[in-house]
Amino acid sequence: MKVMKLIKKATALFLTVGMIASLAACGGASSAPAGANDQTADTQETDAQAADAGTTVSAAGSTAAAETAAAIDKIVFGTNAEFPPFEFISSTGGAIGEFDGIDMAIAKQIGDDLGAEVAINNIEFDSLLIALQNGQIDAIIAGMTITEERKESVDFTTPYYNATQVMIAKEGTDITKAADMKGKNIAVIQGYTGETCVKDLGFDYVSFKKGPDAIMDLINGKSDVVVIDSATAQKYVNDNAGQKLVIIEDNEQFANEEYGIAVKKGNTALLNALNAEIEKMVADGTVANLADQYAVAAE
Ligand code: GLN
């Protein structure tokens, strides 16, 4: 799958090179998010310890990650479950309660490995950073691109996934590169790095609260193009097979982006524990396998 640029068995060198590339991604993310007070919180919990009840070997001390995280017994992850295949609500049940997707499976695995309870707090993407700073959540796992601007307010783990912005348009479009969007009706999702990319191009755009709303606007013929992350774009195109949507890449304009988990600045205990987990899951292929699995899985 071309747009799925997975970090497969990544070496430290690869990650270092990737991190440098990500700094150039459209000049960084949008500015500080709006207040988190008006969000609708939707919390679902899983008890990793209960799930592990049959295991005789204690989780603590069994891995480096568990050792680092000896004191961590609960992690409240903030996400925005509107970003398939990374996070979405599954009517048939997901990795954590109703929440499913690559990130949710990663969060569940982290909880299982650390012997920590994991809860998901589903809030607007634009409110995640402030919710973290407020202490409402312990970490953000939301397909969130590591950007210099976000790094000013939160700390990020080692990257676990490579993505890029792409354009989705209707078959027959004359858009072949980002510059061709000039004068078109451009749709983005509020607070996503895609919004920053279009802003940096100097083009007018309409920003939607949710990805599906932008896609619907495209399908209805109001928008000509949607700028969004690659794997999510692929998912929307697959899910709307009858609508003849196409993905257009412009790797010169849209640089490599890397997703990381964010923690509150200075929360090194949690950051170290998450880094050990992420490094392990990238190196042993867990993340790549989840990405493959959820790219094809039905919601
Ligand atoms: N990767 C994009 C960003 O960080 C979109 C993430 C998302 O919508 N969950 O802005």
Q: Per-residue pLDDT tens for 76-112?
A: 999 999 999 999 999 998 999 999 999 999 999 999 9
- Top-confidence range, 16-20, 55-59, 250-254: 250-254
Predicted confidence (pLDDT) at residue 170 exceeds the cutoff of 80: yes
For residues 284 and 11, the model is more confident at 284
Among residues 237, 188, 226, which one has the least CA distance to residue 208? 188
- Identify the band that residue 193 occupies on the pLDDT scale cut at 50, 70 and 90: very high
| Most informative mutation of 82, 123, 125, 151 for ligand 1 (most atoms within 8 A of CB) | 125
12 C-alpha vs ligand 1 centroid, how far in Å? 24
Tell me the whole-structure pTM to 2 decimals: 0.79
Residues 222-232, mean pLDDT to the nearest whole number? 97
- Interstrand relation of 74-79 and 82-83 (parallel, antiparallel or unpaired): unpaired
Q: Which amino acid is at 262?
A: A
Q: pLDDT value at position 71? A: 72
Q: Is the predicted pLDDT of residue 29 greater than 70, yes or no? A: no
**3-class DSSP assignment, residue 49:** helix
pLDDT reported for residue 3: 39
Torsion of CA 43, 140, 275, 60, to 10 degrees: -20
Specify the pLDDT at position 40.
41
Which is nearest to 49 in space by CA: 72, 77, 65?
72
What is the pLDDT at residue 132? 98
> Which has more pLDDT, 53 or 136?
136
The residue whose CA has the least distance to atom 5 of ligand 1 is 192
Tokens at 277, concatenated: 């987990």
In ligand 1, which atom is closest to the CA atom of 80? 9
Q: How confident is the model at residue 220 (pLDDT cuts 50, 70, 90)?
A: very high
Ligand 1: residues whose CB is within 6 Å? 29, 80, 83, 125, 142-145, 192-193, 229
pLDDT at residue 186 is higher than 80: yes
pLDDT at residue 42, as a whole number:
53
**% residues pLDDT > 90 (the chain):** 74
Could you tell me the pLDDT band of residue 70, with boundaries at 50, 70 and 90?
low
- Ligand 1 pocket: which of 144, 160, 197 to mutate (most atoms <8 Å of CB)? 144
Burial state string for 122-156 with b = 16 or more CB within 10 A and e = fewer than 16: bbbbbbbbbbbbeebbbbbbbbbbbbeebbeebbb
Among the ranges given (63-67, 238-242, 265-269), the one the predictor scored with the smallest mean pLDDT: 63-67
Q: Within 10 A of 249 (CB to CB), how many other CB atoms are there?
A: 18
Confidence of residue 295 (pLDDT cuts 50, 70, 90): confident
Sheet bearing 87-89, strands edge to edge: 82-83, 87-89, 99-100
3-state secondary structure (DSSP) of residue 159: coil
Confidence of residue 15 (pLDDT cuts 50, 70, 90): very low
CA distance 48 to 243: 41
Distance, in Å, from the CA atom of 18 to the CA atom of 221, rounded to the nearest integer, reads: 36
Mean pLDDT calculated for residue range 180-204: 96
